[in-house]
Structure 1
Amino acid sequence: MPNDKILARSLGVLFGLGLAGIFILRRNLFRLTGGKDNGAFIEYFELLPPPPPPPPSAPHPLSGLTFAIKDIFDIEGFVTGFGNPDWASTHEPATRTAAAVKVLVEAGATCIGKLIMDELAYSIIGDNKHYGTPVNPAAPNRIPGGSSSGSGVAVAADLVDFSLGTDTAGSVRVPAAFCGILGFRPSHGAVSTVGVTPMAQSLDTVGCFARDPAILRQVGHILLQLPYMDVRQPRRFFIADDCFKISLIPTELSLGTVVKSIQKLLGRQVLQHINLGDYVARTVPSLKELQKEISDSNLGSLALLRTAMQILQRWEFKLNHEEWLTTVKPDLAPALAARTKLALETSSNLVPLLQKIKDETRYAISELLKNDSLLVMPTVPDIPPKLNTKAEALEVFRNKTLDLICVAGMSSCCQVTMPAGNHDGVPMAVSLLAKQGSDRFLLDTVLAIYSTVQEEDKVAADQPSIVSDGNSAAAELAKEKGNAAFKEKDYKKAVGFYTDAIRLNGNNATYYNNRAMAYLQLCSFSEAESDCTKALNLDKRSVKAYLRRGTAREFLGYYKEADEDFRQALIFEPTNKTASEALSRLKKLLYG
């Protein structure tokens, strides 16, 4: 529930005629009176559009649509909260309305309120220690993604037709993916950020969410303020194979429907496979210099690109907010406090190199995606983590996500994430990227293929998987290679081979069990838990799956669930020593 500071913000009433319409703050605040809004809203008001023009003039393009905004956008007369009550209490009401909000209201849409966000926009998880975590409508027991958490939830819960968020390092794309909706990050600089609290200006963008691709396109076109252009057909789709290998979701599930849809609409000839990491390594030479500066030879090119983005983000965040952080000393969540401490300790030494990397990346991706080409890649590496996942596990997940997110951030290109079916009852997402400045082309393409993707998803969901004898033999061979790599303690390589086996035959519990064991060795506990659950869906008497899932859950801090797994293992194997010892440990943790 909101605290007294939110209540004070919410009960003030402002009347005034603005450029776009009339501000009216509603007194019937649903969060305060117990109404259901999935915890997405922080305050309600109405920003009304101008009256419609008389016939025969066409109505405003967004007439009849409602939207809400992340609490990072200024509204004249209201305090912009930036996700933190100390920020709200130390800042005055805005004297202007953000340009992006104004243009949407002038186009006929009604803004109905402000939405919860992660503190200081410095997270992609979706939680907020002060205002709570909005409930993900698509997966209520999992995180909604952030930092535009309320923006994603409000659209997914059908509370508004569309919403505004900001995306610096995934803050639109991640919640859209986790909530099973569409999310648009425009090209850097394509949409005005006037009246938006800055996070890191080299990366900040104003993005939007919608359930309907036609609304996403319409809103996107208005935000972009571009002249009309004829719709162009894509000439090439590059499939980032290495990025889909990073993803823990089977490629045939997340990518299969998109590929089939493209083939159905445009033909097989437009598809081309690429190793994006290798391409970045070849075309962004300054990454090698960064590698020397940070003295880490183990990072691949995408991880290096992510590192460059993180350091640049820290530096610009420091420039924007150091004075406030050091003066006010705000109450921050532990993970954010650690992140801001790193930012405050960041020097400008590497900034010229980071800007050079950004320039090289922009040129490289623009060259790759010239002539109406698009890049297809996963938005996130896995389904959303469960609520109350340990901070350490979330940080690992965050870095893996940023390895994918950084491509658009460091190239300034535009990206749309769209739902691509479900995995274990949780939304999956795939992204399309276009070069910087090709936003209209990207939105037009998403609209053109979206309905076919959804049709293919339905067909795939209705069809049982069939494994041929050839695939079965190849899967066994891949499993044996995985076993050999595991014995050599090359656990990452083992995961790769077991993943190959699963792609060839996803109906074998042993493959998931083996990959789970390799994940445990890599301390990838969320992934191990997920694989054990899949193994148990296929073989409900698998003692190994219960033991390994119990181990993963114990490390993740899910002690009650771990206790249940080890007890189940003992039901099937009463003398199992591992389970007995684990239950003794958990008894102390659970009951003291």
Structure 2
Amino acid sequence: MASSNTNLWVMLGLGLAGTILLMTRKLKRAIMPDFGAFIQKLELLPPPQPAPPKAPHPLTDLTFAVSDLFDIEGYVTGFGNPDWAKTHEASLRTASVVLSLVDGGAKCIGKTTIDEMAYSVSGESKHYGTPTNPGAPDRVPAGSCSGAAVSVAAKLVDFSLGIDTVGGVRLPAGFCGVIGFRASQGAISQSGIIPVSASLDAIGCFARDPNVLRRVVHVMMKLQFATQRSPKQIIIADDCFELLKIHVDRVIHPVIRSTEKLFGRQALKHENLGSYLSSKVPSLMDFSASKINAQGKTSTLTLLADVMQSLLRYEFMENHGEWINSVKPDVDSAIGALSREGNVIHESEIQKMNQIRTEMRLALNSLLKDDGVLVIPTFPHPPPKVGGKDMSSETYLSPLFSLLSIASLSGCCQVTVPLGYHNKSPISVSFIARQGGDRFLLDTIQTMYSVLQEQVDTSESKSTPSTYSMERSAEAAKEKGNLAFKDKQWQKAINHYTEAIKLCGSNATYYSNRAAAYLELASFRQAVADCTRAINLDKKNVKAYLRRGTAQEMLGYYKEATEDFRYALVLEPTNKRAAASVERLKNLFQ
């Protein structure tokens, strides 16, 4: 009996010891000093500082890491796959973009983990382990450049480099709660970088500080000093925000409030991006015949996602198919699945997809011009939990790729900006500028960043899902009013503008537009009242001053009318209508 009791206690002791050992191992893994971000530590030191009076290097005292698809002389570029590392020699030279950053004064301290051959978007590496997401340790960091995002989020480096093909920088930046920048396609040399998909690849950068990001990109792109520019239009893609699975207000309201504060309400514009692109990208209709979904229809954004994924598969296999087939990869991996499928896309389909890319670039460049920024969600769903199956689900991936395809196919530049947390998961919003508008986009983010963070409402209880839909309804009513005004249906226009005001009474444009309709009906006092309300909401509303001046003149209040026209001239010195009105009143009543 005593022996039996002794054995029992021994068993319990061993079980407890085993449990403690497992817990200790898990704890050690959870608090690894590098969060699993690095695959290899190294040092590339910058050159000595120039002697005074020359300025120090622009990136002095900054540290950075690079994803493991950038060549560094003397080191094997592993491409996220141990078989690749075994079958390739050490690099003979360092990637040109890495050299430019080191020459700029920054110190490179290592290579970071990527998804296998940079092909996945989950950030979960079966070969090297999944880096821990510092922003949400139970959530995946996203890929393909997961380690680079984690190294910045964990404050192990000041910035890091990655390649963004179908979201490889934007997505992990959003999931880990840092700033992520995808440069315009072709804007930075990709010499010394393993290609994933040549027509989609773009160099990207992670940072916590927008000022650091701006300095780094200026060095990478060899940009000279220029006066900082602000956007004239912030265009909100309404249909993209319909894809969000969290409260839309939590993402869009900081953008709206920041825009109003910095640039005025008149800078805001709403656009149905899918409808716009369907009219500007005719080649997409040729591609759609074989892509109709089970309901007999599919959205423009979904079609774009299909085009992006098809191009990625084709070009990836063109680059690496021979090697993949030679090493016979794990059948359960994404690379193994590609090997089984083969590269069966017909050349004529590739030509169609490249035509879509060209038309996409032209369409977005036309929409954004030199002074517009498009606003979209970075991702529709919250980051999935580690070990979950969400990121292999079509339900999860389809809307995600729809959003990521916009910049990937058009070649536009995009910045992902963190907006705090929702239900303990990082959330973010993205800003897109035309291809080649990188400097302008960085200027915009530097201007908006601190105000955006101030506007982030950390209290989820204040989120009101109905607010944004009311604003959209108000915009729709305003557009109906504009159409009625164009058709000279003045009273109908007034009714629509009144509906817009009831839905959103803080928009100066609605009052100013209704005043224009009142003027047409000779309802001058109502026009004065509406213009005064518009001016109280927006002190820089030139149209409201002009319309109130006209109404005041018609009522015989010539002094007040002159003051309005003169103030309109202060706001717009080249406004011919204001100048002519001031001159006319001066000649009549001098």
TM-score by length of 1: 0.71
Describe the SS at the equivalent of 2:36: coil
Match of 2:127 in 1: 130
- Work out which of the residue numbers 184, 209, 214 in structure 2 matches 1:212: 209
Structure 1 residues 45, 426: closer, same or farther in 2, change over 3 A?
A: same
Give identity over the alignment, percent: 49
For 2:418 and 2:464, the matched residues in 1 are separated by 26
CA distance in 2, matches of 1:435, 1:342: 35
In the other structure, the counterpart of 2:377 is 378
| Cα gap change, 1:136 to 1:35, in 2 (>3 Å) | closer
Structure 1 partner of 2:328:
329
- 2 CA distance for matches of 1:66 and 1:338? 38
Residue of structure 2 equivalent to 1:559 = none
Deviation at 1:347, TM superposition (A): 3.5
Structure 2 residue 132 is the aligned partner of structure 1 residue 111 = no
Q: Is 1:174 paired with 2:171?
A: yes
- TM superposition shift of 1:465: 2.4
Match of 2:386 in 1: 387
Alignment partner of 1:261: what SS? helix
The answer as to whether partners of 1:162 and 1:211 remain within 8 angstroms in 2 is yes
Q: Which residue, 243, 256, 260 being the options, matches 2:240?
A: 243
Secondary structure at the aligned position of 1:137 is classed as coil
Counterpart amino acid of residue 158 in structure 2: D
- Whether contact under 8 Å (1:317, 1:343) holds in the other structure is no
The aligned residue for residue 423 of structure 2 is 424
Q: Which blocks of at least 5 consecutive residues in structure 2 are unaligned?
A: 1-27, 471-502, 504-590
> What is the aligned partner in structure 2 of residue 307 from structure 1?
306
Secondary structure of 2:347's partner? coil
Q: Is the 8 A contact 1:137 1:156 kept in 2?
A: yes
Aligned counterpart, 2:187: 190
Change (3 A) 1:466 1:262: closer
- Label 1:391 to 1:343 Cα distance change in 2 as closer, same or farther (>3 A): farther
Out of 149, 154, 178, the residue aligned to residue 146 of structure 2 is 149
Q: Deviations over 1:327-355 (max 9, x none)?
A: 12233653442245445333423011001
Q: Work out the CA distance in 2 between the residues paired with 1:336 and 1:187.
A: 27
Residue aligning to 1:53: 50
- Is residue 2:261 matched to residue 1:264? yes
With over 3 angstroms needed to count, the CA separation of the structure-2 counterparts of 1:318 and 1:463, relative to structure 1, is closer
- For residue 316 of structure 1, what is the aligned residue in structure 2? 315
Change (3 A) 1:327 1:446: same
SS in 1 for 2:269: strand
Q: Is the 8 A contact 1:86 1:331 kept in 2?
A: no
Asked if 2 retains the 8 angstrom alpha-carbon contact of 1:82 and 1:117, the reply is yes
Find the counterpart in structure 1 of residue 402 from structure 2. Answer: 403
Check whether the contact 1:181–1:210 (CA below 8 A) recurs between aligned residues.
Answer: yes
Alignment partner of 2:250 out of 249, 253, 278? 253
Counterpart of 2:353, as a letter, is L
Give the drift of 1:114.
0.3
Q: 2:561: which partner in 1?
A: none
1:322-361 correspondence runs (5 A): 322-331=321-330, 333-342=332-341, 344-361=343-360
- For the pair 1:69 / 2:75, whether they are aligned, the reply is no
Aligned to 2:432: 433
Tell me which residue corresponds to 2:160.
163
Gaps of 5+ in 1: 1-30, 475-503, 505-592
CA pair 116-394 structure 1, distance change in 2 beyond 3 A: farther
SS in 2 for 1:350: helix
Q: Is the 8 A contact 1:83 1:120 kept in 2?
A: yes
CA distances 1:122-163 after superposition (whole Å, capped 9, x unpaired):
111101101010000000001101000000000000000000
Equivalent residue, structure 2, for 1:230: 227
Q: CA RMSD in A?
A: 2.1
Task: State whether residues 235 and 373 of structure 2, in contact with CA within 8 Å, keep that contact through their aligned partners in structure 1.
Answer: yes
Number of the residue aligned with 2:275? 278
Partner SS, residue 270 of structure 2 = strand
Partners of 2:391 and 2:447 lie apart in 1 by 41
Preserved contact between residue 64 and residue 158 of structure 2 (Cα < 8 Å) = yes
What amino acid is the match of 2:319? N
Q: 1:357 to 1:233 in 2, by over 3 A?
A: same
| Secondary structure of residue in 1 paired with 2:150 | helix
Displacement of 1:35 after TM fit?
A: 5.0
- TM-score, scaled relative to structure 2: 0.72
Closer/same/farther in 2, CA of residues 290 and 201 from structure 1, 3 Å limit = same
Find the aligned partners of 1:449 and 1:462 in 2 and give their Cα distance.
21
CA contact (8 A) 2:419 2:453 kept: yes
Structure 1 contact 165–206 (Cα < 8 Å) conserved: yes
The whole-number CA distance in structure 2 between the counterparts of 1:341 and 1:221 is: 43
Give the direction of change, closer, same or farther, for the CA distance of 1:319–1:203 in structure 2 (3 Å limit): same
1:589 counterpart residue number: none
Greater Cα radius of gyration, structure 1 or 2: 2
In 1, Cα distance between equivalents of 2:155 and 2:331: 31
8 Å CA contact 1:419, 1:429 repeated in 2: yes
Q: How many residue pairs get matched?
A: 439
Q: 1:219 to 1:161 in 2, by over 3 A?
A: same
